[in-house]
Amino acid sequence: MIEVGRLCLKIAGRESGRYCVVVKKMDENFVMVTGPMELTSVKRRRCNIDHLEPVMETLNIKSDAPDSEILKAYQRANLITKLGLGPRKAKAAKVEKKPVEKKAEPRKEKPPEGKAEKREPKKKPESGKAVKRPAAKKAAKKPASKRAKK
């Protein structure tokens, strides 16, 4: 089942859940494997057969083929869209663009709100001062009355 060009899912380790291609047979237990890195972020490395789950698809590649040839083989087999792999850079670019647009809009709206909020508190301190002033007057009066009593 596991031969050169076989597409596999990695089952164990940090790369588990990612697709890879068998590039070369090392011995009974080990094979050489790549994603390639750009597509599925699986490094070209030796891998235990127990850590691979073969998938029905195969790629038409020679043994020990470079990553560029494997990418072409992916495109020929139309596997990139079928497996939902897609170029990661494009996805990342889309994600980056959206928040920038969202941020730009609220910035325009926010400043007037902020100003409105700032205006309101300005009025409050005035009222506060108005309250304080009479209190201060009372305070000023009280000692005077006390003095008068004395």
Partner 1 sequence: MPRPSLRSRTLRRIKKRIPGGASVTHYLRRKPSPARCAVCGRPLHGVASERAAKMKKMAKSMKVPSRMFGGNLCPSCARERLKEMARKNV
Chain contacts with partner 1 (rule: CB under 8 A): 7-9, 11-14, 16-17, 53-57, 82-83
**Nearest distance from residue 15's CB to partner 1, in Å?**
9
Q: Is the CB of 9 or the CB of 32 nearer to partner 1?
A: 9
Q: Given the complex with partner 1, which of 3 and 126 has the nearer CB atom? A: 3
d(CA 30, CA 49): 6
**Helices (H), strands (E): how many in the chain?**
4, 5
* CA distances to 60, 129, 130 from 139, in Å: 95, 15, 15
Q: How far is the CB of 11 from partner 1 (least distance, A)?
A: 5
Closest contact distance (angstroms) between CB of 117 and partner 1 is 31
b/e map 132-145, b = 16+ CB within 10 Å: eeeeeeeeeeeeee
Complex with partner 1: residue 56 or 130, whichever CB lies closer: 56
- DSSP, collapsed to helix, strand or coil, labels residue 120 as helix
> Measured from the CB atom, is 12 or 131 closer to partner 1?
12
| 108-114: long-range pairs with CB below 8 Å, 24+ | none
What is the smallest separation between the CB atom of 56 and partner 1, expressed in angstroms?
Answer: 5
Minimum distance of partner 1 from residue 10's CB (angstroms): 8
Between 14 and 108, whose beta carbon lies closer to partner 1?
14
Cα gap 22→31, rounded to integer Å: 7
